[in-house]
Amino acid sequence: MLFDQQFLRIPGPTPIPPSVERAMSQPMIGHRGIETSELLQSIKPRLNKVFGTKQDVLIVAGSGTAGLEAAVVNSVRPLDEVLVIVTGAFGVRFAKICEAYGIHVHRMDYEWGKAFNPEEVTRYLEQYPEIKVVFATYCETSTGVLNPIDQLGAIVREVSDALVIVDGVSCVGGVETKMDEWQIDIVVTGSQKAFMLPAGLTFISVSERAWNVIESNPNRGFYFDLTKYQNNYEKDTTPFTPAISLLFGLEQVLNLLEAEGLEEVYARHQLMMDMTRAAFRALNIPLLTEDKDASPTVTAVQPDDFDAELFRKTIKSQFGLSVAGGQEHLKGKIFRVGHMGFCSPADVLQTIAMMEIGMNRIGKEVQLGAGVAAAQQIYVKKGRENKCQFKF
Amino acid sequence: MLFDQQFLRIPGPTPIPPSVERAMSQPMIGHRGIETSELLQSIKPRLNKVFGTKQDVLIVAGSGTAGLEAAVVNSVRPLDEVLVIVTGAFGVRFAKICEAYGIHVHRMDYEWGKAFNPEEVTRYLEQYPEIKVVFATYCETSTGVLNPIDQLGAIVREVSDALVIVDGVSCVGGVETKMDEWQIDIVVTGSQKAFMLPAGLTFISVSERAWNVIESNPNRGFYFDLTKYQNNYEKDTTPFTPAISLLFGLEQVLNLLEAEGLEEVYARHQLMMDMTRAAFRALNIPLLTEDKDASPTVTAVQPDDFDAELFRKTIKSQFGLSVAGGQEHLKGKIFRVGHMGFCSPADVLQTIAMMEIGMNRIGKEVQLGAGVAAAQQIYVKKGRENKCQFKF
């Protein structure tokens, strides 16, 4: 890019707020000193509300996949039977991690773009009572689906003692998460999505039930052994060198989330989803997912009369606007617009205005401004209904 | 603001490009060391093209007004007669600076919102042959007028030996400036407008004719004495402590302007003006200036059926969007939208989308999206006409 401006609207990593950038630029501190302990003390209790849990939220230096692998190696033993609910590429990833450890994987595959059905999961568990863990994805980043994780824990518990482990990477922090109330045993997320940080931290919270399983597991690996993180958590330290700059940033992210108010943060993400979907509807461009399955953090679009890849290339070169392509068999068939983390309704309006011009440029005639107008109408309507001022 | 996002669309200071922020964060260097000399060597020749001059462009630590005052104290003596062309608040400022030094000021006052007429200036000079300097404003920030500076120098020279001194603060770097070709004797600008830097530097370039006047002037003050800056310029140093972080930033600004290409930079500003004006026209909201007088860097809007101040307050609290109000007798009657420096057509689209919602919020019913669509149409049309890709 000639001009020093980029619009990062992929479904994570997201842009970093300026105050978080500044926080991350603080001088380095000793990882075993009092400053790091104080930093951890400041951060720890504030993560609970984001996860909706009274359990400790452990912080591991690593990307989201590291967190998913830690969940697997701590809670499952080789040859154990597990069920992986696959609704897209990140469901597949859970299965691959399990397979890498010789775990016996049952897969329930859903059409990409659809959410799973919790009742089908219970029927499957009734059929295979040996299954010890159910793995599910909260927001399936590859399709923009938000799976019914709120119903999964309770319904599984009715028929099975299996642990329920959830990949919340691309939505926790942007979508309400009630780990305890929903009876989820492990929730994992990463720093580079709704947490508005660079990648490099993964967060893991573990239920009492899951701790019982983990503590009796003789092989938990070394770096990923969560009991080490738990023991150090209680002493305001970490078993291995913490990623301190990211922790500086995390503290400021928590300041921002608390200043805005978590309910407002979730309402903002819902609003941005509604605005984005209304815009594509107004432009007569099909969405991959139905409204009931749609995620507040990312929208997958399935154009039927223009080339998704040419479109992506055009808006990138024209405006520096990045949206994501499709993965696996959806490659070239969809594009995905992120609206999470450091993203406001004003950013959504701008993204739509640029995309309309991009379509026009590649010969897809859309009525310029029609998508923006539809999104503006949603903003005005929801703002009034909610009697709240969206102060972004 | 709860959320860490601000949209600074006043007519300067403008937002700072991220790479310029990073450049300004470099460790401090000694102001009399080789590093500072090398920094000045790198910057100096690259400013000439921006000013359209073969003369040296001197850099003074201070805001734009410091540069205007330096121009006055160096080129005028107390009791000298000067003509100040006043088209708005910054014309008034030139007059006030002169009056502070006991200079005999002739004022030609134009209605705020209109450009001056060069032929009227020459008629005035013919009437008052004792006038030694003509002061004029290139972009009058208070009204969004771009005055016909391109015609002023030559037409003055036909009837007078008066120096022509131009305040280019809110446009040089965003609008073509040809100091030599246009026979301007002194051009002054600041760092916080089209130069996309924080305030704190002012730039002054001086013609041969003006140097002759300055060198024979016995009282040039101390800090503002331009001969000191000129003597040090030749030695790659400065007479007083330079604002080094701003110089680090300036070097990167020049990198950005050169990478984009100055012609492209000017075309971008023109385009952003056209988009902004088309949007307000589409919304049936009056503009203060006529097309022929309009500045590519700032647009003044004069609403006839809603309260400009309530509107400004609403978009600030709603989106963190800042536009400027009116000054002096235009206070409360106009608002001014900046589109200069670190601002792209995509930013203009976003600003319009937010302003439409803001109008709606205060009860001014506009068709949502209509202004955005008009601006998008200009973008698409001009892009095609110019056969260029606006790569911002």
Using one digit for the tens of pLDDT, what is the confidence trace for A193-203?
Answer: 999 999 999 99
Residue A324 Cα, gap to closest chain B Cα (Å) = 19
Distance of CA A387 to the CA centre of its chain: 28
Could you tell me how many CB contacts below 8 A there are between chain A and chain B? 140
Interface test with chain A among B1, B2, B347, B388, by most A beta carbons within 10 Å: B2
Average pLDDT, integer, range A112-120: 98
Is residue A250 within 8 Å of A195, Cβ to Cβ?
Answer: yes
Residue A134, domain member (yes or no)? yes
Report the alpha-carbon angle A294-A299-A302, nearest 5: 105
Task: Respond yes or no on whether the N-terminal peptide bond of residue A13 is cis (omega within 30° of 0).
Answer: yes
Can you tell me the distance from the alpha carbon of A216 to that of A232, in angstroms, rounded to the nearest whole number? Answer: 19
Looking up residue B150, the CATH number of its domain turns out to be 3.40.640.10
Q: What is the pLDDT of residue A382?
A: 86
Average pLDDT, chain A: 95
What is the reported pLDDT for B390? 43
Q: Could you give the ipTM of this predicted complex?
A: 0.89
Using a CB–CB cutoff of 8 Å, tell me whether A388 touches chain B: no
Judge contact between B390 and B378, C-beta under 8 A: no
Q: How confident is the model at residue B387 (pLDDT cuts 50, 70, 90)?
A: very low
Report residue A391's pLDDT band, with 50, 70 and 90 as the boundaries.
Answer: very low
Q: How many helices (H) and strands (E) does chain B have?
A: 13, 14
Q: What is the pLDDT of residues B207-225, one digit of tens each?
A: 999 999 999 999 999 999 9
Assess if residue B70 is contained within a domain: yes
Considering the domain architecture, whether residues A59 and A77 belong to the same structural domain is answered as yes
| A187 and A266 part of one domain | no
Interface membership of A259 toward B (CB under 8 Å):
yes
Contact: B20, A2; criterion CB under 8 Å: no
The answer, for B28 touching chain A at a CB cutoff of 8 Å, is no
Report how many domains make up chain B: 2
B150 inside domain: yes
- The predicted model gives B326-331 an average pLDDT of 97
B391 in a structural domain: no
Mean pLDDT of B18-46: 96
- Domain check: are B70 and B216 in the same one? yes
Q: Do B391 and A1 touch (CB under 8 A)?
A: yes
Across A168-190, average pLDDT: 98
Put simply, the chain A residues between 330 and 349 with a CB less than 8 A from any chain B CB are: 342, 344, 346-347, 349
**Shortest Cα distance, chain A CAs vs residue B5, angstroms:** 7
CB contact under 8 A, A4 and B17: yes
Contacts of B343 in chain A (CB under 8 A): none
- Is beta strand B324-325 parallel, antiparallel or unpaired with respect to B201-206? unpaired
CATH of the domain at A364: 3.90.1150.10
CA distances from A166 to A120, A133, A270, A271 (A): 17, 10, 21, 24
Which residue type sits at B235?
Answer: K
Of the three residues A194, A227, A258, the one that is the final residue of a domain is A258
The 10s digit of each residue's pLDDT in B335-351 is 999 999 999 999 999 99
| pLDDT single digits (tens) A64-91 | 999 999 999 999 999 999 999 999 999 9
Is the same domain home to B273 and B187? no
The reply to whether B138 and B269 lie within a common domain is no
Picking from A309, A302, A297, the residue whose alpha carbon sits closest to that of residue A338 is: A297
Same domain, A226 and A302: no
Q: Dump pLDDT digits (tens) for A267-308.
A: 999 999 999 999 999 999 999 999 999 999 999 999 999 999
Q: Is A1 a member of any domain?
A: no
Q: Å from B77 to nearest chain A CA?
A: 44
Q: Are residues B214 and B137 in the same domain?
A: yes
State which residues form the domain around A268: 7-13+261-385
Which tens digit of pLDDT belongs to each residue from B151-178?
Answer: 999 999 999 999 999 999 999 999 999 9
Residue A29 contacts B where some CB pair is shorter than 8 Å:
no
Contacts of A123 (CB under 8 A, 6+ apart): none
The answer to whether residue B285 scores a pLDDT higher than 60 is: yes
Q: Are residues B324 and B200 in the same domain?
A: no
Output the pLDDT for position B383: 65
Last residue in a domain, options B234, B258, B282: B258
* Chain A interface includes B229 (CB < 8 A): no
Please tell me the distance from the alpha carbon of residue A272 to that of residue A299, in angstroms, as a whole number.
Answer: 10
Domain match, B110 and B143 both: yes
Please provide the average confidence, as pLDDT, over all residues in chain B. Answer: 95
List A residues 83-142 in contact with B (Cβ-Cβ < 8 A).
Answer: none
* B185 falls within a domain: yes
Residue B392 pLDDT grade (very low, low, confident, very high; cuts 50, 70, 90) = very low
The CA distance from A198 to the nearest CA of chain B, in Å, is 16
- Asked if pLDDT for residue B388 goes beyond 50, the answer is no
Per-residue pLDDT for B385 more than 80? Answer: no
pLDDT of residue B224: 98
The verdict on B173 and B73 lying in the same domain is yes
pLDDT in tens, B219-257: 999 999 999 999 999 999 999 999 999 999 999 999 999
**Structure confidence at residue B355 (pLDDT):** 98
For residue A391, tell me if it sits in a domain.
no
Reported confidence tier of residue B389, pLDDT bands at 50, 70, 90:
very low
Out of B223, B258, B293, a domain closes at: B258
What mean pLDDT do residues B176-202 have? 98
- Assess if residue B392 is contained within a domain: no
Look at residue A383 in the predicted model and tell me its pLDDT: 64
Are B280 and B224 in the same domain?
no
- Name the minimum distance, in Å, from the CA of B347 to any CA of chain A: 7
**pLDDT tens digits, one per residue of B102-113:** 999 999 999 999
Average pLDDT estimate for A150-173: 97
Q: Are residues B73 and B128 in the same domain?
A: yes
